[in-house]
């Protein structure tokens, strides 16, 4: 398990920024100034802090979060049963494939879970076949049938 490392400097202002700005960033010519005003900060301080939070990895990024499927692409969750003695080898195969966005080891018989993301729907099946051909293992697809609304916000 990767050890979470608390950033050296993450003060209350940073916490307020992370909690307040997980959406609703203004679509106006000076958006940082508008967001800063609501937080009682100066525009340049907000910009500097977002830059520092991104550099330290507290934020993966700052900007629009896209729904890949609505943008015309295709996404599917997928899983495999990978024998323990082949685990690293199979993980390395997926690491090299650009269609694989995330890959996690999980505690289950189905022990490798990953996200396939491609430009077209047909690309999902092609990626599935490519993985099966490269590994000799069966790939189960779990595409979403329906997504239930979540706020997608985390408390810092």
Shortest Å, Cβ 89 to another protein: 12
Q: Which helix (H) or strand (E) holds 142?
A: strand 140-142
Instruction: Judge whether 105 and 87 are in contact, CB under 8 Å.
Output: yes
4 or 136: CB nearest another protein: 4
Do the beta carbons of residue 145 and residue 151 sit within 8 Å?
no
Nearer of residues 37 and 43 to another protein, judged by Cβ: 43
Asked if residues 47 and 34 have their Cβ atoms less than 8 Å apart, the reply is no
Backbone angles phi, psi at 142, to 5 degrees: -125, 70
11 versus 105: smaller Cβ distance to another protein: 105
The least distance separating another protein from the CB of residue 133, rounded to whole angstroms, comes to 19
Distance of closest approach, residue 136 Cβ to another protein, in angstroms: 19
């Amino acid at each position: 398990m990767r050890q979470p490392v608390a950033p050296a400097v993450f003060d209350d202002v940073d916490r307020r920024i992370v909690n307040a700005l997980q959406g609703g960033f203004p679509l106006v010519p000076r958006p940082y100034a508008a967001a800063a005003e609501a937080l009682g900060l100066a525009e340049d301080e907000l910009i500097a802090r977002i830059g520092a939070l991104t550099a330290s990895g507290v934020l993966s990024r700052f900007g629009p979060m896209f729904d890949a499927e609505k943008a015309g692409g295709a996404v599917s969750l997928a899983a495999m049963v990978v024998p323990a003695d082949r685990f690293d080898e199979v993980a390395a195969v997926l690491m090299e494939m650009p269609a694989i966005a995330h890959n996690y080891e999980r505690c289950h018989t189905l022990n490798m879970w990953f996200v396939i993301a491609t430009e077209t729907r047909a690309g999902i099946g092609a990626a599935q076949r490519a993985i099966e051909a490269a590994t000799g293992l069966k790939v189960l697809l779990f595409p979403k049938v329906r997504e239930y609304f979540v706020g997608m916000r985390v408390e810092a």
